Structure formats: C-alpha cells, structure tokens
C-alpha cells in the first residue's frame, strides 16, 4: 500500500464516522486497504459486493435503470446508508458508500471505462464521477485507481484533510465531484417518502457503545409532558445502563400520518439533551428490526393492542409468530399502568399467553403512576 494511502486510512479510522460500503464492478482493493490498517472496526460496519444482477436487484429492491450510472451509484449509497442506520446506535455518525464501475475486462468493453461513487450521510451527498483513459491501464491498475477514489470519498465524509494520491492521466482524465447538502426539512421529506428509514436527533454528549441496550418510548408526543419523561426514567431504572430514547413514527397504526409541519413542531420539544429518533415504522415488529436488543416502554393499553388478535387477521398463531419474532431480535416490553375505559389497569390485569409472558414486565406502581395524557393537555389548552 502507498504510505500516503495508509496515512489517510489511519485518519479515517480515527474519525467518529462509521460506514457501510457496497461496491460493484471494481474498487475491490479499497476493502483490503481499509481492513488491513488497525482499528478498521472503528470505521467499517459492513461491506458487500453486489456483483450479480440478482444481488443488485435485491439490494435496491428493483431492477436498476443501468448497472453503471450516476443514478445507480446514488441508489446503492442510499441502501448502504439505511443499512448503516440499522447497524448503529443513535448519535453515531454514519455513511453509506456506493460504487459502481465498468473497468477493463476480457473480452474488451466497447464503451467507456468509468466509475461512479456516492457517499450518503444524514446531511447530504458526496458524488464523484470518473471516466478512465481507455487502454492506458490494465484491470488491476484501473481497480487500484477506483479504489483510491472510494478512499477519497470516505475521507471527505470523515473530514480527513490528508490527500489521497490519484495518478490521473494528464489531459485525459478528470475526477468530477459534487457535494449536496440537505436541510432538515429535506431530510424529513425523504423520511416521509420512504427513502430513508429513520433520522437520529441525539441530544447526548457521549456516543453510546454498540451493545448498549436502548430503552425506547414511542409516541406522538403532542405534546411531550412530565408523564413521558417520568415513565422513561422509571423504565431506565429497571434497565440499568440503558440508553433512554424517544421515538416518533411519522406513520401510526391507529391515527392519521403526521405531516411535515407536525413533525417539525414536535422536534422543538427534544432539543435539550434528549435522544430522539424519527421513523416511518408504525408496527413494533418493524421497530424491532430497526432497534434490535431494545426494550420498548408501553402503556397497558398498547400491550392490549399488541395481544389483540384482530390486528393479526384474527389469528392467535400469527400473533404469537410476530411477537416471538420480536423476541428473537432481542426485544422485550416494559408495561406501565394506565386508565383503560375509565379503569386503571396494570399488566397483571390482562391475559398474556404463556408463550410470550417472559417478553412483558410490569413497571411497578411505586416507580411510575400517572394519569396525565397528551390529549388532556391539548384539551385543557383549547379550553
């Protein structure tokens, strides 16, 4: 490895950014370089090589318009970014790196030798396009150059100032780059359209380590009130060392979806040190896929819905299948007492099938009991 490359990669591994890399059609040496320098686990969350057509279709969830083009590189990076979000804790800076290339091969290609690289982060895109001088290098040398472009892209994302050496042919090759910055509103629009699976708004000063159990309170928080805060505090006392986290889903199973203005208004409540994640997943089995190894904090009314077969096509078998699937992802539930149809109920007042009883734990009334609700607060303000 070029000593200058090693310096850049060492700086990348020293940065807080973690990445998923998806490389198709070239830049294979980039993975070897990244993994051969110590502390690679500080950077690389996962790396895949979607080389076959079937692999690419499964990655993107569709047939790409072209295998090697700017649009496909952007789509690969988006898929990698969503994967990085799922593999990381809130507060961790993540990136998805997408590469697609058409390099020297046997038999020789008729078209240009070229590559497209995209890095997607929460705040924007880095894009690089390169058309290589055909016949100037063999396959290994073209792969080497495109690997350097991937490292450069990752270095840019990580804020690394060291220069990646690029041996471009004078007058025949130019690396064209573009940076796109997304506003918070554009990020939210991408969430609502389903392009990204979540947005992290971490208020903590310390980045939690992987393996820290998340204690997740989901809700619409319209408005956030002391009852929510006290409930999450009580839950965290039962999950010592857990990361307290609020989650707003733009889509709710029993309510109309939230609009952009609704979400922006509610975000204002979480600017003072609270960790918030905004998702587009209304169902707990989907939340469990986003947040494995987590404890979800719910009221007994929500627990009743989780155990109601009407939400599973009136099938107890299907209900158990879904709940056990949540359990296999390492998730469970802490259940707080609430008024249901005018009567205060706790977990022991409802029937939980024996197959999933271990997934549900009651929050004792001496730790938390509150009749405060967002609905009541809204009504009192209107009154």
Cα distances (Å, whole numbers) of residue 183 to 84, 192, 279, 342, 351:
20, 14, 17, 44, 47
Query: Each residue of 271-298: pLDDT tens digit?
Result: 777 889 999 998 999 999 999 999 999 9
Name the stretches of the chain with pLDDT < 50.
374, 377-379, 382-383
Cβ atoms of residues 250 and 279 within 8 Å? yes
What 348-353 contacts at long range (C-beta under 8 Å, 24+ apart), as own/partner pairs, is 349/300, 350/300, 350/303, 350/304, 350/307, 351/307, 352/303, 352/307, 353/307, 353/316, 353/320
Residue 57: how many CB atoms within 10 A of its CB?
A: 13
- Per-residue model confidence (pLDDT) at position 382: 44
Rg, Å, the chain Cα set: 24
Cβ atoms of residues 122 and 187 within 8 Å? yes
pTM here? 0.91
The sign of the CA dihedral 363, 367, 373, 374 is negative
CA distance 3 to 215: 44
- Per-residue model confidence (pLDDT) at position 377: 46
- Per-residue model confidence (pLDDT) at position 373: 58
- Per-residue model confidence (pLDDT) at position 375: 54
- Per-residue model confidence (pLDDT) at position 106: 87
Cβ atoms of residues 222 and 374 within 8 Å? yes
- Per-residue model confidence (pLDDT) at position 358: 96
Question: At a CB cut-off of 8 Å and minimum separation 6, what does 125 contact?
Answer: 74, 77, 118, 119, 178, 179, 180, 182
Domains annotated for the chain, with CATH where assigned, are 3-182 (3.90.950.20), 185-382 (3.40.50)
- With H, G, I as helix, E, B as strand and everything else as coil, classify residue 59: helix
């Amino acid at each position: 490895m070029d000593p200058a490359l090693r310096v850049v990669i060492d700086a990348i591994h020293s940065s807080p950014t973690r990445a998923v890399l998806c490389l198709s059609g070239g830049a294979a040496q980039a993975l070897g370089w990244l993994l051969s320098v110590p502390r690679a686990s500080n950077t690389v969350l996962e790396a895949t090589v979607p080389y076959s057509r079937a692999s690419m279709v499964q990655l993107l969830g569709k047939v790409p318009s072209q295998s090697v083009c700017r649009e496909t590189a952007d789509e690969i990076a988006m898929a990698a970014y969503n994967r990085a979000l799922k593999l990381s804790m809130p507060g961790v800076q993540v990136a998805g790196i997408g590469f697609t290339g058409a390099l020297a091969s046997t038999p020789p290609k008729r078209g240009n030798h070229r590559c497209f690289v995209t890095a997607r982060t929460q705040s924007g895109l880095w894009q690089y396009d390169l058309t290589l001088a055909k016949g100037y290098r063999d396959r290994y040398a073209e792969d080497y150059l495109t690997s350097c472009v991937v490292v450069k892209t990752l270095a840019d994302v990580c804020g690394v100032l060291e220069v990646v050496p690029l041996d471009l042919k004078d007058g025949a090759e130019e690396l064209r780059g573009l940076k796109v910055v997304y506003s918070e509103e554009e990020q939210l629009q991408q969430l609502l359209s389903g392009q990204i699976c979540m947005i992290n708004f971490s208020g903590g000063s310390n980045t939690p380590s992987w393996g820290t159990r998340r204690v997740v309170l989901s809700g619409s928080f319209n408005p956030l009130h002391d009852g929510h805060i006290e409930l999450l505090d009580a839950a965290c006392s039962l999950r010592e060392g857990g990361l307290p986290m609020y989650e707003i889903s733009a889509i709710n199973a029993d309510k109309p979806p939230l609009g952009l203005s609704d979400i922006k208004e509610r975000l204002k409540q979480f600017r003072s040190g609270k960790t918030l994640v905004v998702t587009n997943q209304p169902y707990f089995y989907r939340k469990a896929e986003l947040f494995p190894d987590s404890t979800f904090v719910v009221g007994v009314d929500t627990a009743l819905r989780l155990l109601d077969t009407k939400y599973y096509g009136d099938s107890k078998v299907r209900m158990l299948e879904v709940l056990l699937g949540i359990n296999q992802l390492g998730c469970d539930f802490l259940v707080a007492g609430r008024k249901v149809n005018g009567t205060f109920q706790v977990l022991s007042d409802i029937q939980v099938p024996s197959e999933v009883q271990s997934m549900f734990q009651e929050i004792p009334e001496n730790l938390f009991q509150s009749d405060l609700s967002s609905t009541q607060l809204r009504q009192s303000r209107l009154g």
